């Protein structure tokens, strides 16, 4: 028999419940506010926080971020607080203080800002957290086994030689060349071939819609993050930016969905996840693409759905394309600015290859120790991913102060890499910093271009191999002269650190 409460008692219960709810959230906010306020940081205003100080231009905002960090570096110990509207952020740019967070298997949930990437990347390896992330990471780790990475060397060589041939035409005429789009298209061809088993021929298509959509999407996401008034979907989707976002999303998902369906229904697709090439004499096994391995997982485990495959393919296409392209471009700019460094690279490469035109092998890469130093110093000075965010599910202690549960932490990789305590004269390009004798005493979290700890980048070995093959094949044949200073390229921190106007201008000359 149901019990009917008098109307007055029902109203009282609702009021008490609502009051308890409000009390909990007000008390929670006050605790966060009081603890966050103990950290140094730029003055904030109610409701808007520090967002009124943000710049709409990516380059200007990048300079603003750098200026704020340097202003407070010494007095704050490399830890400051900011407010993104109502959202408290603790910004860490000191290797010592970031270790506790990055080395933890508990603080693995990405920051609130990553939710704005989910329409594009879903809940894949980059954006997911908790048990889903642990499960997905364990599932995907074997796909980056060294033996599989070695099989990609053929693609690295083939596509980089197409790039070399294009660059040779500019060297023939001693023309100025903007290498940024050329390298970007080369890397896209590499990623499509290795990830999808699909030739896209982006290097012959200067107006590739996927490349344009990635750049547009990155800009839209960062602009939205910096304007908390656009965080609600029901507002954002009605703006011009929201409509542009939807158009870019259709292009990005259209490309990956088409590739997945083509691979899934490929008549040459074998039951065990590989592909075979028909031949009258032999049945030669083709290289296994990343997508083949994911489809095999799908066949063996129905819970790993086609949607999950698309999430990981989109993530790998983004992280393995935009980040690597930026890294190679910045390295070429810096090499072209430093003739002494370039001469040492040429000598080292010549010792390994001489006048040979043979493809590069993985064994060759291990012999080029100075090249490794150059790549690392380029990534130190200009990390492809300038920072990462985490949300806290429990309190942590940073620099002797409590960062409360419910707050967000932003780890500035760019700021950590430019810490003068770890890297004296941090704005100077000096690959010798990474010689063994100069690295042993450095803090282990002072250099983290691929993040660190449990959530480090699963594809970092792939990226380093690809970077080196592209640089070697270019430097075997050309000398590079940069026609811009670093400031003139206007590095701008969006999701990826890239030149604000998309230009890195160089002159190339054939080596004799």
In sequence order, the 6+-apart residues with CB closer than 8 A to the CB of 269 are 263, 275, 292, 295
At 270-296, the pLDDT tens digits run 444 444 343 333 334 456 788 888 888
Task: Measure the CA–CA gap between 264 and 270, rounded to whole angstroms.
Answer: 10
* Mean pLDDT, residues 505-512: 93
Residue that wins the pLDDT comparison between 384 and 104: 384
| Size of the chain, expressed as the number of residues it contains | 512
List residues forming the annotated binding site.
457
pTM of the model: 0.89
Look at residue 443 and give its three-state secondary structure. coil
> pLDDT (tens digit, 9 = 90+) per residue, 148-160?
888 899 999 999 9
pLDDT digits (tens, 9 = 90+) for 391-409: 888 899 998 899 998 888 9
Mean pLDDT score of the chain: 87
Q: What's the CATH fold of domain 49-510?
A: Cytochrome p450 (1.10.630)
Q: In the predicted model, is pLDDT for residue 220 greater than 70?
A: yes
Annotated binding site for heme: 457
User: Percent of the chain beyond pLDDT 70?
Assistant: 93
The whole-number pLDDT of residue 228 equals 83
Instruction: Give 108-134 as a DSSP string.
Output: -PBPGGGGGGHHHHTTSTTT--HHHHH
User: CA–CA separation, 78 vs 98, rounded Å?
Assistant: 10
**Residue 275 pLDDT:** 42
Question: 88-98, pLDDT tens digit by residue?
Answer: 899 999 999 99
| Residue 66, φ and ψ in degrees, nearest 5 | -60, -45
- 193-202, 327-336, 366-375: the lowest-pLDDT one: 193-202
Structural domain spans, the chain: 49-510
Chain centre to alpha carbon of residue 472: 23
End-to-end CA distance of the chain: 97
pLDDT of residue 270: 47
Beta carbons within 8 Å of 45's beta carbon, 6+ residues apart: 52
Cα–Cα distance list, 237 to 232, 345, 361 (Å) = 9, 50, 49
């Amino acid at each position: 028999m149901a019990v009917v409460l008098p109307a007055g008692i029902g109203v009282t219960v609702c009021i008490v419940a609502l009051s308890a709810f409000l009390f909990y959230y007000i008390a929670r906010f006050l605790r966060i506010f009081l603890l966050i306020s103990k950290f140094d940081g730029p003055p904030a205003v109610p409701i808007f926080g520090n967002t009124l100080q943000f710049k709409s231009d990516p380059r200007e905002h990048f300079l603003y971020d750098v200026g704020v960090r340097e202003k407070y570096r010494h007095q704050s110990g490399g830890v400051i607080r900011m407010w993104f509207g109502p959202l408290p952020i603790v910004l860490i740019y000191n290797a010592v203080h970031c270790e506790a967070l990055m080395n933890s298997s508990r603080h693995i949930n990405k920051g609130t800002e990553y939710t704005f990437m989910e329409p594009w990347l879903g809940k894949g390896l980059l954006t997911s957290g908790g048990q889903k992330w642990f499960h997905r990471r364990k599932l995907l780790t074997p796909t980056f086994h060294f033996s599989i990475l070695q099989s990609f060397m053929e693609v690295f060589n083939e596509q980089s030689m197409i790039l070399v041939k294009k660059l040779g035409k500019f060297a023939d005429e001693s023309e100025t060349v903007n290498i940024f789009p050329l390298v970007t298209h080369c890397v896209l061809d590499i990623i499509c071939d290795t990830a999808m088993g699909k030739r896209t021929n982006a290097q012959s298509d200067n107006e590739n819609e996927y490349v344009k959509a990635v750049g547009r999407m990155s800009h839209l996401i960062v602009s939205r993050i910096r304007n908390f008034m656009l965080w609600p979907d029901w507002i954002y989707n009605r703006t011009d930016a929201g409509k542009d976002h939807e158009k870019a999303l259709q292009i990005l998902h259209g490309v990956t969905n088409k590739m997945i369906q083509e691979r899934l229904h490929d008549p040459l697709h074998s039951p065990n996840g590989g592909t075979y090439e028909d031949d009258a004499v032999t049945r030669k096994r083709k290289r296994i693409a990343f997508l083949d391995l994911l489809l095999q997982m799908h066949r063996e485990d129905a819970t790993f759905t086609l949607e999950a495959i698309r999430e990981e393919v989109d993530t790998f296409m983004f992280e393995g394309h935009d980040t690597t392209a930026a890294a190679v471009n910045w390295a070429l700019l810096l090499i072209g600015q430093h003739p002494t460094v370039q001469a040492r690279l040429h000598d080292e490469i010549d010792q390994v290859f001489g006048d040979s035109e043979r493809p590069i092998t993985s064994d060759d890469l291990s012999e080029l120790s100075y090249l490794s130093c150059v790549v690392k110093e380029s990534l130190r000075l200009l990390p492809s991913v300038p920072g990462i965010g985490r949300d806290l599910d429990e309190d942590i202690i940073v620099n002797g102060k409590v960062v409360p549960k419910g707050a967000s932490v932003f780890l500035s990789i760019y700021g950590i890499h430019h810490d003068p305590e770890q890297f004296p004269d941090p704005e100077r390009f000096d690959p010798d910093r990474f010689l063994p004798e100069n690295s042993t005493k450095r803090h282990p979290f002072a250099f983290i271009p691929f993040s660190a700890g449990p959530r480090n980048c699963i594809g970092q070995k792939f990226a380093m191999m690809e970077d080196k093959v592209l640089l070697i094949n270019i430097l075997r044949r050309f000398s590079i002269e940069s026609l811009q200073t670093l400031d003139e390229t206007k590095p701008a921190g969006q999701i990826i650190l890239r030149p604000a106007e998309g230009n890195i201008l160089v002159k190339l000359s054939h080596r004799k």
